[in-house]
Structure 1
């Protein structure tokens, strides 16, 4: 096993930089750099010197965590040094020359922690989401998953499946024994019925948890010159989109990512919906109509109450917004806003946030936050429902139960995960 190292903090000028190390060569490296092996789990102020040459690299803190009580399950250390780029580069160059060390790949620290049982696959995914979290609700959801909420629930579900398996396997293995009574399917149903109910409840919450990771998508739509780009700039509080009185100026969708009330909300400025004047504008309009099908909400903007065209797909949740409310009052049933003086913008944001919270929740009860989880849970539920169905031979029931256990195991990485490990851990930054 090679020893790996990588910066644990971002690039650029900073007060402190952290360099992480993990592997069998950590102890020897620390002795070579500092002259002695630090006491475990105690921060020690040291002078870091280049091995052999003795040149001072920096002064800082070193922490050592011996195996197996470490984040990776291996000998692990952190160097807390000054954050100047020359200092960091000097230390990294020295580490690269040390025998047995190499730079870590993206996610390699977390992957070693997974391999050594320090976290399961769902916790690793939650950790990745925690790094990417931009809002309070996303942080809350990611922290819940990274803390093992899904793992603990899956363990409980698997325990119920194993209990059901034991009932069936006992009948299959010992049915010819005189003191073993006939198989009671009622006992099997008593175990599986509440389990299936729990899985169905978790799957009902899955769309909200998955959507919270991606954000609530709001499409700003309307005819040309309805004030779409002006509204986007006002909501983002900066000039993102070009504002022009010339119809058809907006060709590509421009997005603004907002954190409102702890919820991730993305507003997308779109091309004006009209009969396109040229081929490029037509492409822009077609993209709007295709994207709106995946949106959570469409804001239909109009300065004069113009109706939404039939081209917009049915079933898209829509909020009617009357722009330029400083010049004329909104029609009945429309929310009036004015990007010029800000009138109505807080009310618009609050209404969008209300709908977003209804759709996304607050992340506090999230479990199934990824499509991978949902597919595995769906497969487990299908196998359990099959096990409950009819008066089939017990051999088939036993196989259904084993299939359910395997599907649940895939969620936490207990079985059949080699093909997804690269995809999961490659999303991490280097040093995590």
Structure 2
């Protein structure tokens, strides 16, 4: 059974009883800086390190959650350090496990000092607080760790808070905020409580079934409930890793023949000489609010240069982890025969995939080979192209030929069906022609594949969540394969399943992940 009760903890270690303080805003010159104080002596800091603005009388504890003007003074020299706003957040009561019974103690209070953000002011206030007995500078993530210890935050909310601090794009911010607000916690806790209820019913049958006649129909109800729960978990995990990809960034790989215009001048030195890119070069972009890790690769061609061959191998390897492929082709390589009277779209397709390395990178068979047969039915979200074929250097051909080429490629299917859904874009990196349309198409792809804001529940964002849910599904599957006569074994499987979900939120067995989580935080959070 679940033995973890909210608000019920072992006696804290001496270090957790220290009063801690730290700068909670970014270091450096700013208009306002926030110094946070947390612990049993937080209100003592208010009394000893502040004075009332008008009278200069010793500081009193202000009304909770109300901004109050105070002078910040040195507790020993009484020197005025700054004029500030202070806010007091009283702690709530909790119960601590103390054999043979319980004792009721108060949670630590929190005080915030909103001071001027000059470096000298910040140093003087922190130095003054360090002179108070029982005070020390907070460690990385210690404020959040104490919030977890006091049942104010669960592990998924803490992870969401860490992601919120590290969010660089709007999509990442929305996803992290939703998780920090408890979206994942409520879902997982609902599943865990359902497992605990089913487990309680089975244990009641095991312990009292024969005496109380309560076994009739109970096992069937539990079986149906577990079957539905397993289906819900599978559906939740069948998300194409949207949340995890959005959290770390969508990996987009640019590939194509040499000198097609792949490499950006801001990322690497470029020249008209083919084959100058020898490695995979990465840069991070904010594309329509979505994080994109853009990888530029070596030009795909036959080469006897060992270094260039290694670059080409790395380019092909990078495709294995790509979420989006952008094939950049020099448009002039497929328009040379358009003036011929018998030229048609087929000749354009043949020229497009003439490079065997490009064809290999796209897993695109030749006309002599058979096209791959899809093994699964694509989901509706995959209807947007995942491979973009971008024809560059459009400024070097006349507009009429360009329009003719686009019409042929868009209206005539390739001689061999591509295993990817294709999107053609014609651009000129020199003049900027078509770049807005290409950007809009890429943003649409990202929105259709990785927008998590409209889902009924947040997506999985951490590998450990997926591992724990996998372990839970194994236990539920084992239960569903047992016979009713094996009810004792079934109860044990449900117990393992509940513990697996409990590890996600912090209800059980989470000591090994705490350090990894809190190291993502900065000092003062």
Q: What is the TM-score normalised by the length of structure 2?
A: 0.76
- Change in 2 beyond 3 A, CA 1:364/1:370: farther
Distance 1:102 1:275, change over 3 A: farther
Distance in 1 of aligned mates of 2:215 and 2:463: 43
**Alignment RMSD:** 2.3
Aligned partners of 1:275, 1:77: CA distance in 2, in Å?
66
Residue 444 of structure 2, aligned match among 354, 357, 362: 354
Q: Residues 223-253 of structure 1, C-alpha deviation per residue, up to 9 Å, x if partnerless?
A: 22110014xx5xxxxx333221122332343
Question: Aligned pair in 2 of structure 1 residues 178, 6: CA closer, same or farther (>3 Å)?
Answer: closer
Shift of residue 148, structure 1, vs aligned partner: 0.7
CA contact (8 A) 1:220 1:300 kept: yes
Whether the aligned pair in 2 keeps the contact of 1:38 and 1:63 (CA below 8 Å) is: no
Checking the alignment, whether the CA contact within 8 Å between 1:8 and 1:17 is kept in structure 2 is yes
Q: How many angstroms does 1:184 deviate by?
A: 4.7
> What's the offset of the Cα at 1:373?
0.9
* Structure 1 residue 266 corresponds to structure 2 residue 293: yes
Q: How does 1:102-117 map to 2 (within 5 A)?
A: 102-117=136-151
Q: Does 1:407 align with 2:494?
A: no
Q: Deviation at 1:289?
A: 2.0
SS at the partner of 2:66?
A: coil
> How many Å apart are 1:311 and its aligned residue?
4.8
> Which residue is equivalent to 1:387?
479
Cα–Cα, structure 1 residues 2 and 188, in superposed 2: closer, same or farther, change >3 Å? same
Extract unaligned runs of 5+ from structure 1: 234-238
How far does residue 274 in structure 1 lie from its aligned partner after superposition? 2.7
**Counterpart check, 1:342 vs 2:439:** no
Task: Choose from 300, 312, 319 the match for 2:361.
Answer: 312
Distance 1:87 1:184 in 2: 67
Could you tell me whether the CA contact under 8 Å between 1:293 and 1:313 is conserved in 2?
A: no
| Contact 2:425–2:434, Cα closer than 8 Å, also in 1 | yes
| 8 A Cα contact 1:272 1:285, kept in partner | yes
Mapped to 2, the partners of 1:185 and 1:342 lie a distance apart of 67
Q: Distance in 2 between matches of 1:203 and 1:415?
A: 21
Cα distance in 2 for residues equivalent to 1:289 and 1:73 = 56
How far the C-alpha of 1:31 sits from its partner, in A, is: 1.4
Q: Secondary structure at the match of 1:42?
A: coil
The Cα of 1:8 is off from its aligned counterpart by 1.0
Q: Does 1:14 align with 2:50?
A: no
Equivalent residue number for residue 370 of structure 1: 462
- C-alpha spacing 1:351/1:73, structure 2 compared with 1 (3 Å): farther
| Residue 2 (structure 1) aligned with residue 18 (structure 2) | yes
Q: What is the distance in 2 between the residues matched to 1:23 and 1:276?
A: 66
Q: Deviations over 1:374-395 (max 9, x none)?
A: 1111211221121111415111
- Native 8 Å contact 1:73 1:117 kept in 2: no
* Whole-angstrom CA distance in 2 between matches of 1:59 and 1:169: 63
| Match of residue 208, structure 1, among 242, 258, 280 | 242
Q: Do residues 101 (structure 1) and 124 (structure 2) align?
A: no
Q: Secondary structure at the match of 1:197?
A: helix
Superposed CA deviations along residues 142-199 of structure 1, whole A, max 9, x for unmatched, are 1111111111111211222122112211211113316344465321222112211211
Q: In 2, are the aligned partners of 1:251 and 1:270 still within 8 Å (CA)?
A: yes
- Distance verdict in 2 for CA 1:20–1:44, change over 3 Å: same
Partner of 2:349: none
The answer to whether 1:45 aligns with 2:69 is yes
Aligned equivalent of 1:143: 177
- Alignment: residue pair count: 424
Offset from partner CA, 1:345-389 (integer Å, 9 cap, x none): 112122222222232123342232211111111211221121111
Which of the numbers 270, 286, 300 marks the counterpart of 2:313? Answer: 286
Deviation, structure 1 residue 96: 2.5
Counterparts in 2 of 1:91 and 1:206: CA distance versus 1, 3 Å: farther
Aligned counterparts, 1:245-260, within 5 A:
245-260=272-287
Task: Judge conservation of contact 1:6–1:21 (CA < 8 Å) in 2.
Answer: yes
1:322 aligns with 2:356: no
**CA distance, structure 1, for counterparts of residue 37 and residue 524 of structure 2:** 9
Q: Which moved more, 1:272-281 or 1:123-132?
A: 272-281
**CA 1:358–1:111: 2 relative to 1, 3 Å:** same
Is 1:63 the counterpart of 2:87 in the alignment? yes
Deviates more, 1:264-273 or 1:108-117: 264-273
Partner of 1:20, secondary structure, is: strand
Instruction: Find the aligned partners of 1:293 and 1:213 in 2 and give their Cα distance.
Output: 19
Secondary structure of the corresponding residue to residue 342 of structure 1: coil
